[in-house]
């Protein structure tokens, strides 16, 4: 390793004095002007990771649903999954090393992770549409190049597309062709096959309005349109030509504010959806005839997909285990519906996509979604092999047809990560096949009214949790207070958890009425403020 060249190159990407950042679930996120050294060093790390696992690694430059002035970076592991947790620590170490420590930190990572320095390294790079992304991805290239790594810069792509490309490359094309055309063809072919089975397909036109958050989703959905059947009319809004990324639009804005985005004219009973800034989350919504706004979030998307898969698996007649994975933020009504009505096992894990993904891998078919609209479906290798075999060889026509539908679902879903484009096509196919309107889908169950709050604290580590973040184990007495407050309301539930990124504690409460949910959230917030070292003025109702 040429440490002289590393030193020279690193001096061109200096670390701002006193800046310390942590690699979290979303990688690094900060103001764009603070990230040049981070990008350079993540180029270095990607080369080391690639040599350690003898595979291609991905680097995505994006800050997802954050404001346009921010940016960020995350690494993608060989099968399109998130970076291994032990390497998250190396990322943080490398990011925060002072100039003179860089050489020793790189050497230490090589020793600890048994990096074979004589291996070739290969890195795929992609970026979102932020004004800062092009220059920052050049810093990643500088980091890769100084350590002698090979790279392919895919330029503007959605985050899930880069995950797909990395997975295709490392499975020698088994997952799909390693090009964007390959991605569009794989998804559109599966989607077209699915909707052929829909009642009245061919003569039906169906319309969908898509808010692209003024981000990368607009560019890529436009590229994909020619691949889709002509009866599918997708209308793009907030396409990035006029307004700023994520500004009063996008999945996060719609979910948090429970209202339609700017720039999209919502007519009664029209089906609409919003992507986030890097197109890895999606939420649906509509306005009823009385003008009331209805949000259909990740929980309801997971429920629709689960209903569909459960019916198909029953038809196929194999004992394949289906399960749904949620976090504590999932609405209580969705959990109750899945467990009691649909009779599908539900597992709760800590917040963060990596925890959901990991748990979903334990089942033949694992559906996971966060309420914010990030999610996908995972099929075990054994389940996938069985389904593909039945689609080819099963003598019973009904079983064979059901297996074929499942096979197309496997090809349509992006199993590497939540993907707004893929999830949208899965939902559209299911609605078409089941002949459901958006209102009928929404009516499957009614969400319990809920409220999210955050409380400023001196130190977020004062709050410790257990049981997938559903119980507070510290400070002493907090959980007892929460239990007492919950007992006073009907169908109530509440929990608190420290933020992963700032000194705030997040409070979630739900109950049978909005008033009760609001009051419960406020009372729990006060308990956090008094017991966990609240900062500033106490929470106001």
Which segments of 74-153 does DSSP mark as H helices, in order?
Answer: 85-96, 102-112, 133-146
Q: Is 278 annotated as contributing to ligand binding?
A: yes
Q: Is 423 annotated as contributing to ligand binding?
A: no
Which of 365, 64, 112, 94 is CA-nearest to residue 217? 64
Q: Is 303 annotated as contributing to ligand binding?
A: no
User: What is the bridge-based pairing of β-strands 346-349 and 322-327?
Assistant: parallel
Which segments of 324-477 does DSSP mark as H helices, in order?
Answer: 332-336, 353-360, 381-393, 397-412, 420-434, 438-442
Q: Is 371 annotated as contributing to ligand binding?
A: yes
Decide: helix, strand or coil at residue 177.
coil
| Cβ atoms 511, 520 nearer than 8 A | yes
Cis amide leading into 475 (omega within 30): yes
| Cβ atoms 215, 133 nearer than 8 A | no
Q: Is 246 annotated as contributing to ligand binding?
A: no
Q: Is 334 annotated as contributing to ligand binding?
A: no
Decide: helix, strand or coil at residue 72.
strand
Report CA dihedral (353, 357, 360, 361) to the nearest 10 degrees.
-170
β-bridge mates for residue 156, sequence order: 127
Q: Is 321 annotated as contributing to ligand binding?
A: no
| Cβ atoms 467, 514 nearer than 8 A | no
Non-local (6+) Cβ contacts of 389 within 8 A are none
C-alpha span between 150 and 133 (Å, rounded): 20
Report CA dihedral (499, 492, 366, 234) to the nearest 10 degrees.
-80
Q: Is 498 annotated as contributing to ligand binding?
A: yes
Q: Is 145 annotated as contributing to ligand binding?
A: no
Which phi and psi angles does 325 have, rounded to 5°?
Answer: -115, 130
C-alpha span between 211 and 184 (Å, rounded): 20
Q: Is 499 annotated as contributing to ligand binding?
A: yes
Q: Is 506 annotated as contributing to ligand binding?
A: yes
Q: Is 134 annotated as contributing to ligand binding?
A: no
**Residues noted as catalytic:** 64
Q: Is 64 annotated as contributing to ligand binding?
A: yes
| Cβ atoms 35, 72 nearer than 8 A | yes
C-alpha span between 526 and 524 (Å, rounded): 5
Task: Calculate the alpha carbon distances from 73 to 22, 87, 456 in Å.
Answer: 12, 14, 27
Non-local (6+) Cβ contacts of 114 within 8 A are 52
Task: Calculate the alpha carbon distances from 316 to 195, 261, 309, 310, 366 in Å.
Answer: 19, 41, 10, 10, 17
Binding site, annotated residues for substrate: 370-372, 497-501, 506
Binding site, annotated residues: 64, 276, 278, 280, 370-372, 497-501, 506
Binding site, annotated residues for Mg(2+): 64, 276, 278, 280
């Amino acid at each position: 390793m040429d440490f002289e060249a590393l030193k020279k190159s690193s001096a061109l990407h200096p670390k701002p004095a006193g800046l310390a950042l942590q690699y979290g679930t979303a990688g690094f996120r900060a103001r764009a002007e603070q990230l040049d050294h981070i990008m350079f060093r993540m180029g270095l790390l990607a080369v080391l990771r690639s040599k350690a696992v003898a595979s291609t690694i991905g680097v995505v430059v994006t800050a997802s649903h954050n404001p346009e002035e921010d940016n960020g970076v995350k690494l993608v592991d060989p099968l399109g999954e998130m970076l291994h947790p032990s390497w998250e620590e190396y990322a943080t170490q490398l990011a925060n090393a002072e100039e003179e420590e860089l050489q020793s930190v790189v050497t230490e990572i090589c020793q600890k992770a048994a990096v074979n320095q004589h291996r070739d390294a290969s890195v795929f790079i992609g970026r979102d549409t932020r004004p800062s992304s092009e220059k920052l991805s050049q810093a990643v290239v500088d980091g890769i190049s100084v350590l002698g790594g090979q790279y392919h810069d895919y330029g503007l792509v959605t985050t899930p597309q880069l995950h797909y490309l990395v997975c295709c490359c490392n499975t020698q094309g088994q997952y799909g062709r390693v090009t964007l055309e390959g991605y569009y063809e794989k998804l559109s072919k599966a989607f077209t096959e699915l909707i052929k089975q829909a009642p009245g397909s061919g003569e039906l036109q169906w319309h969908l309005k898509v808010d692209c958050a003024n981000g990368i989703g607009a560019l890529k959905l436009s590229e994909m349109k020619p691949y889709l059947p002509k009866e599918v009319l997708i209308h793009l809004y907030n396409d990035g030509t006029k307004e700023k990324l994520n500004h009063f639009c996008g999945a996060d804005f719609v979910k948090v504010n429970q209202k339609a985005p700017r720039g999209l004219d919502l007519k009664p009973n029209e089906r609409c959806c919003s992507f986030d800034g890097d197109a890895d989350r999606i939420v649906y919504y509509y306005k009823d005839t009385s003008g009331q706004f209805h949000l259909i979030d990740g929980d309801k998307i997971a429920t629709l997909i689960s209903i569909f898969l459960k019916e198909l698996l029953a038809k196929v007649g194999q004992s394949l285990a289906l399960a749904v994975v949620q976090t504590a933020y999932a609405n209580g009504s969705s959990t109750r519906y899945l467990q009691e009505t649909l009779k599908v096992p539900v597992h709760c894990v800590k917040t963060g996509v990596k925890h959901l993904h990991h748990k979903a891998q334990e089942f033949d078919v694992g559906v996971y979604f966060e309420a914010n609209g990030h999610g996908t479906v995972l099929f075990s290798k054994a389940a996938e092999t069985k389904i593909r075999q039945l689609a080819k060889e099963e003598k019973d026509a009904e079983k064979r047809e059901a297996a074929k539908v499942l096979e197309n679902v496997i090809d349509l879903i992006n199993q590497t990560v939540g993907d707004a484009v893929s999830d949208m096509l899965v939902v559209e196919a299911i609605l078409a096949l089941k002949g459901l309107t958006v209102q009928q889908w929404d009516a499957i169950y009614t969400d319990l009214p809920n409220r999210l709050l955050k409380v400023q604290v001196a130190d977020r580590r004062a709050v410790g949790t257990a049981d997938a973040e559903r119980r507070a184990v510290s400070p002493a007495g907090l959980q007892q207070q929460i239990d007492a407050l919950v007992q006073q309301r009907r169908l109530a539930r509440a929990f608190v958890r420290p933020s992963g990124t700032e000194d705030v504690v997040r409070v979630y409460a739900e109950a049978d009425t909005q008033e009760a949910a609001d009051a419960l959230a406020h009372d729990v917030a006060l308990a956090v403020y008094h017991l966990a070292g609240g900062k500033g003025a106490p929470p106001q109702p």
